């Protein structure tokens, strides 16, 4: 597990598996940067055999952001970074991370998994890149990009928190309606849970829902990547 240069001035956290399965996964950060939660997620994927890379997508704004959701000051900073973040550039950076895993590390297939802001970016990874499979957890503002849904040509799994304070039910319904005709897309809704239900230690962490979602993600990647 080590920092690594990806492209331009962007770096990231790379978790290497002891028993590689030949595939890689790009882990797409929340609004808190490449923090311990994201590094732990990469380590978990490495234990499953994947070469897991967390790119520092805020590098153009402030390299090395590593904060938590535990204080008002950190939330203020995280929201400011999100508001200034260039989504199009972010997807380009994810594409660079995918390319690095393929070309420099020999990954035969590469997937992506993202959370919150990263959930939206995982959706856009499915519409704008050649990732082999993508997973988004409680992605924000996806309905604004449903016009790109026709571009999805590889499997996509979206985990939706039914009581998401950042993704209200009309937005959830719009996602379901806009994606229902694509057989490559699977939506899983989790009743009674709020945004970030899979973030360990978070205010809305729900162990049962997180375990179920993570098991579905693991099976999804086994089927489409490993």
Output the domain CATH number for residue 155.
3.40.50.1820
For 225, the token pair is: 């990547």
What whole-number distance in Å separates Cα of residue 61 and Cα of residue 57? 9
Burial class (CB in 10 A: 0-12, 13-18, 19+), 141: middle
Q: Which segments of 85-181 does DSSP mark as H helices, in order?
A: 87-103, 117-128, 169-179
Give residue 8's pLDDT: 87
What whole-number distance in Å separates Cα of residue 24 and Cα of residue 36? 20
| CB environment 150-162: b (16+ within 10 A), e (fewer) | eebebbbbbbbbe
Give residue 2's pLDDT: 60
Dihedrals phi, psi of 134, to nearest 5 degrees: -135, 145
Give residue 3's pLDDT: 77
Q: Which residues of the chain have pLDDT under 50?
A: 1
Residues labelled as active-site residues: 164, 195
For 168, the token pair is: 């209200």
Quote the crossing angle between the two packed helices 117-128 and 87-103, to the nearest 10°.
70
Contact 162, 149 (CB under 8 A): no
Give residue 144's pLDDT: 98
Number of domains in the chain: 1
């Amino acid at each position: 597990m080590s920092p690594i240069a990806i492209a331009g001035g962007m770096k990231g956290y790379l978790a290497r598996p002891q028993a590689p399965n030949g595939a890689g996964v790009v882990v797409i950060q929340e609004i808190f940067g490449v923090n311990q939660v994201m590094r732990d997620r990469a380590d978990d994927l490495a234990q499953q055999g994947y070469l897991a890379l967390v790119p520092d997508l805020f590098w153009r704004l402030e390299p090395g952001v590593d904060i938590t959701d535990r204080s008002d000051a950190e939330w203020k900073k995280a929201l400011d970074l999100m508001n200034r973040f260039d989504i199009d550039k972010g997807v380009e950076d994810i594409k660079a991370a995918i390319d690095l895993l393929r070309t420099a590390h020999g990954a035969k297939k590469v997937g992506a998994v993202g959370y919150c802001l990263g959930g939206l970016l995982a959706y856009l990874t499915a519409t704008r890149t050649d990732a082999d499979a993508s997973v988004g957890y409680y992605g924000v503002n996806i309905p604004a990009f449903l016009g790109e849904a026709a571009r999805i040509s590889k499997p996509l799994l979206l985990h939706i928190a039914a009581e998401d304070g950042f993704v209200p039910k009309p937005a959830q319904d719009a996602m379901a309606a806009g994606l229902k005709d694509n057989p490559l897309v699977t939506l899983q809704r989790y009743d009674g849970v709020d945004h970030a239900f899979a973030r360990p230690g978070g205010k809305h962490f729900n162990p049962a829902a997180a375990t179920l979602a993570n098991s579905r993600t693991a099976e999804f990647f086994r089927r489409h990547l490993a």
